[in-house]
Amino acid sequence: AQSVAQPEDQVNVAEGNPLTVKCTYSVSGNPYLFWYVQYPNRGLQFLLKYITGDNLVKGSYGFEAEFNKSQTSFHLKKPSALVSDSALYFCAVRVLYSSASKIIFGSGTRLSIRP
């Protein structure tokens, strides 16, 4: 079955330290991968995507993600965390079915940055 997994419910990092939020996927064909962030009672904001090209993708707010085909991973990273980065992060993957496609989301990882 096609799926996306975020193994960590919560990640805690001190401000200024690097952060990593993990994501692995299982899809047929070439993966289209996304990261979104959600603040309380808000919709999702797009951070970055990987479709093709360089494995290291740079996105909004200083975030980047590395596509690793052999490990089927797409971890989100940031070199220096800010308190304002505290939010809920979702990894997502496009899956194909019939003649259409849809986006499915991981379970989410709550990122908490302490001052």
What is the greatest pairwise CA distance in the chain? 48
Applying CB under 8 A, does 45 fall inside the site for other proteins? yes
Task: Please say which residue, 12 or 80, places its beta carbon nearer to other proteins.
Answer: 12
Residues 56-115 close enough to bind other proteins by CB under 8 A:
90, 94, 100-108
Among residues 95, 60, 53, the alpha carbon closest in space to that of 76 is found at 60
Task: Please say which residue, 53 or 115, places its beta carbon nearer to other proteins.
Answer: 53
Task: Please say which residue, 78 or 94, places its beta carbon nearer to other proteins.
Answer: 94
Residue type, 51: I
Residue found under tokens 């909004």: 60
| Cα Rg of the chain (Å, integer) | 14
- Token reading at 112: 């908490």
Which of 14, 51, 56, 83 touches other proteins (CB under 8 A)? 51
Binding mask 23-42 for other proteins (x = CB under 8 A): ---------x-x-x----xx
Total residues found in the chain within this entry: 115
- Token reading at 62: 């200083």
* Three-state secondary structure call for residue 83: helix
Task: Please say which residue, 52 or 115, places its beta carbon nearer to other proteins.
Answer: 52
Which residues bind to other proteins, rule: CB under 8 A? Answer: 32, 34, 36, 41-46, 49, 51, 90, 94, 100-108
